[in-house]
Amino acid sequence: MSKSGPLVSIIIPCFNVAEFVGDALASAISQTYDRVEIIAVDDGSTDDTLRILESYGERVRVVKTAHRGAAAARNIGAESAQGDLLQFLDADDVLDERKLAVQLRGLGSHDGVIRYCDEITVDASDGRILRRYSPDLEGDDPVPMLISNSLSVEAAVIWKEFFDAVGGFREELVCNQEYDLYLRLGMERYRFEHIAEVLFTVRKRAGGISADYEVVLRHFGEIIEPAYRRMQERGELTPERRSALAGRLGRAARHAALRDDFDTAQRYLRLGKEIDVQAMRREFGPWLWQLAEMIGVSNAVRLRRFLTKARRPDQT
């Protein structure tokens, strides 16, 4: 392939990933699209990560920083990027060698388009395929689908001007920073275009924040509430957006309640009722909702468990 087309910066945040980062780097280096720079941001690693990164010489530009988390590392990489487009890559995941070539074909920044692709998730310990994920976000307004679905950070190739326009990743968020970024991009009316091919692999391993669903649930409101307030202030709360916001809150509230995190559940229920009570009620569960309204969330969950247990055949 001739060296033409926009330059793409592949940005890899790295923190104590010596076991995995070699595969991520190999997948970046092997891209068939050849207008690429690779930036690895070492986020204060204490293992052999930095030594591995520096062993690649000129093929990988290494940026060193004190430990501040993945969102900050990605922003640091983006600030130092010379590319027109940004491809983020977590250090324990891998790109298909065709990813950039496929997603960039005929793409122009003037189109206001963000192209994303499908993914598979595998168990990092044994390579077993856990799921294939193929979200459809296309349409006149991607925001309801962005609220209801989650894209991995690798899924999209993002024009740097779009990324800068929304302020990059929110570094104060504990988790789900990519969900927040994509939602803010959608709110700024950038269109999402689906490439229905699996072009990267997420390797699920123990110990990551994303693996701790209870942490994700507790901090979910830090994304949804500001998005809701901003749409409200700008007069952009369509019925579809209200339904998606309240439905997602209802689902999160139900999951939190069933994990005995009643404070989080009650907080999401209050916000969901403010946005769209019917959508929130539907996703929380009408029967559980009626109980919660009468006797409170914690008592409703305890009664549900008691009744479920009472209906089971005696196992003794």
Q: Identify whether 316 is part of a domain.
A: no
- Domain count for the chain, please give it: 2
Say yes or no: 131 and 246 in one domain.
Answer: no
The pLDDT of residue 209 is above 60: no
Q: Identify whether 2 is part of a domain.
A: no
The tens digit of pLDDT for each residue in 44-77 reads 999 999 999 999 999 999 999 999 999 999 999 9
Q: Identify whether 269 is part of a domain.
A: yes
Say yes or no: 293 and 218 in one domain.
Answer: yes
Q: Identify whether 228 is part of a domain.
A: yes
> What is the extent of the structural domain holding 249?
214-309
Cα(300)–Cα(305) distance, integer angstroms: 9
Cα(160)–Cα(176) distance, integer angstroms: 20
Choose one of 188, 211, 234: the last residue of a domain.
211
| Percent of the chain surpassing pLDDT 70 | 95
Say yes or no: 88 and 195 in one domain.
Answer: yes
The tens digit of pLDDT for each residue in 95-122 reads 999 999 999 998 877 788 999 999 999 9
Q: Identify whether 303 is part of a domain.
A: yes
Cα(102)–Cα(5) distance, integer angstroms: 13
Say yes or no: 272 and 135 in one domain.
Answer: no
Choose one of 211, 232, 263: the last residue of a domain.
211
CB 138 within 8 A of CB 194: yes
For residue 37, list its beta bridge partners.
Answer: 9
Say yes or no: 237 and 118 in one domain.
Answer: no
pLDDT value of residue 4: 78
Q: Quick one: average pLDDT of 305-311? A: 74
Say yes or no: 241 and 206 in one domain.
Answer: no
Choose one of 159, 182, 211: the last residue of a domain.
211
Say yes or no: 189 and 236 in one domain.
Answer: no
Say what the alpha-carbon torsion angle 135, 213, 170, 90 is, to the nearest 10 degrees: -70
Say yes or no: 130 and 197 in one domain.
Answer: yes
Say yes or no: 95 and 244 in one domain.
Answer: no
Q: Quick one: average pLDDT of 35-41? A: 98
The tens digit of pLDDT for each residue in 186-204 reads 999 999 999 999 999 999 8
What CATH number should be reported for the domain holding residue 79? Answer: 3.90.550.10
Say yes or no: 248 and 199 in one domain.
Answer: no
pLDDT value of residue 308: 76
Q: Identify whether 315 is part of a domain.
A: no
Q: Identify whether 1 is part of a domain.
A: no
Say yes or no: 202 and 233 in one domain.
Answer: no
Q: Identify whether 205 is part of a domain.
A: yes
